[in-house]
Amino acid sequence: DYIEYIKNNPNCGYKVDCAKDKKDWRRANVDKFIYDLSCAMRKFNKENNRSVQLGISPTGIYMNGDGEVKYDEFGTAITSGSNTRGQEHYESYLYCDSKKWVDNEWIDYIIPQSYWGFTQPVAGFADVVDWWAKVVQNKKVNLYCGMGIYMTFRVQGAYSWTEYVYEASDEVLYCSANENIKGTCVFSFKSLVRCVDDENVLPYKATEKIRNEYWTKKVKTPKTMANEN
């Protein structure tokens, strides 16, 4: 497809034998899809008096770096990437420039899959969510952190998820203390139900703490509000 594109677009600037060009071309294709989808959804909302939001849930690491973030005159984050050493969705086989979607506000919210525990050595939870919180600052894009409660059932490589009783509640508390983080999304629902219902699983006390101390106020769902109207 890449070679065919270059043949049909001789002035595109991409070279057949350039690996960097091929990566850029892949990202450009994904960017176009996200941009076109964003435009279509905003058009739909305007024409139908709706407020449907566009959100993306990418893998947790955009790009590995030193975790430092500065801002340009437009309030856009300038960064080498998060303080991590894992798979990057900017590169690898995904080639997604999710930061660009945030910078341009093509999406309404983003849910990075920040599934790791606090003690994960190459992608600690705090390192991942702190970086994302800085990236969405100054942007009209809501950040919800993905919490990997399913990790507690992994045989190996889960670190504090399989070692610490209050990992889940501590992650919720940590996110709530950052004004740029608007909430927490839990993966997976099946694992969450088990952690709520089974007293014998490690995170049971954490989910109990979340229900009794942190998430105590019921929130109306769109369906509930529609029924009321």
Does the N-terminal peptide bond of residue 114 adopt cis geometry, omega within 30 degrees of 0? no
Residue 48: both structure tokens together: 């139908």
Contact call for residues 155 and 162 (beta carbons, < 8 A): no
Q: How confident is the model at residue 218 (pLDDT cuts 50, 70, 90)?
A: confident
| β-pairing verdict for 69-71 and 77-79 | antiparallel
Cα 34 to Cα 30: distance, rounded to the nearest angstrom: 6
pLDDT tens for each residue of 158-211: 999 999 999 999 999 999 999 999 999 999 999 999 999 999 999 999 999 999
Q: Is the pLDDT of residue 37 over 80?
A: yes
pLDDT of residue 225: 77
Contact call for residues 165 and 208 (beta carbons, < 8 A): no
pLDDT tens for each residue of 66-98: 999 999 999 999 999 999 999 999 998 999 999
Give, as one character, the DSSP assignment of residue 62.
Answer: S
